[in-house]
Chains A and B, each alone.
Chain A
Amino acid sequence: EDQVTQSPEALRLQEGESSSLNCSYTVSGLRGLFWYRQDPGKGPEFLFTLYSAGEEKEKERLKATLTKKESFLHITAPKPEDSATYLCAVDSGGYQKVTFGTGTKLQVIP
């Protein structure tokens, strides 16, 4: 059974304090790993898709990386508007079977 574990569950940062969120996964065969951002009461907003180990993608202060066992979402010099829950999901094949983690709730304090 596919498993996705995100850590930490919650993270509190001072504005400008860089850090990383972790997504560890166990799947039979990875076809894609997705990162989403979710604000309270809203649907997840797509950030990145990574397909193979060694791949990296960047968007503003966010950078996502992928290895054979885990993915990191690096946040450089975060701002209060980066506060949200960040979700990781993996697609392991089958007929669109995507497994989500429980998310990391990030709070950035001014």
Chain B
Amino acid sequence: ETGVTQTPRHLVMGMTNKKSLKCEQHLGHNAMYWYKQSAKKPLELMFVYNFKEQTENNSVPSRFSPECPNSSHLFLHLHTLQPEDSALYLCASSLNSGSADTQYFGPGTRLTVL
């Protein structure tokens, strides 16, 4: 499935590093999402963008900083993370937000914070 791509697929970083995750969707969608998936927990919605505008910030710590330059690209900038931030970070897109449109997911970035 190449509709939603994410890079890198794996990332190991120290607590003082700065890194970025990238997501690109080729589906012509207008909404993009970041989720965090930890073991034994349901997917946690982090951010929602609709037509490049952020519409949801689910009380995410400021060490996570999203950026959406256009409807096809989404970034998640990371700095001074904690070991508990280690997880699978998933990007998704849907036709629009605010309606029951199906979300399509990328393969995820497995993040390990040392």
Where the two chains meet, the residues of A that have a C-beta atom closer than 8 Å to any C-beta of B are 4, 31-32, 34, 36, 41-46, 49, 51, 87, 89, 91, 95-103
Contacts and interface: CB of A to CB of B under 8 A. Distances in A.
Query: Which 9 A-B residue pairings sit nearest by Cβ, starting from the closest?
Result: A32-B100, A96-B97, A43-B105, A31-B100, A100-B42, A100-B43, A91-B100, A44-B105, A43-B108
Contact of B107 (A34, A43, A98): A43
A41 B108 CA distance: 8
Given A34-B102, A96-B55, A96-B97, A41 B110 contact: yes
A100 B33 CA distance: 14
Interface string B31-70: 1010000001111010010100001100000000000000
Interface residues on B, range: 20 to 34
B41 A95 contact: no
A52 to B, nearest CB: 11
A105 B93 CA distance: 25
A43 B90 contact: yes
Contacts of B88: 41
B55 A42 contact: no
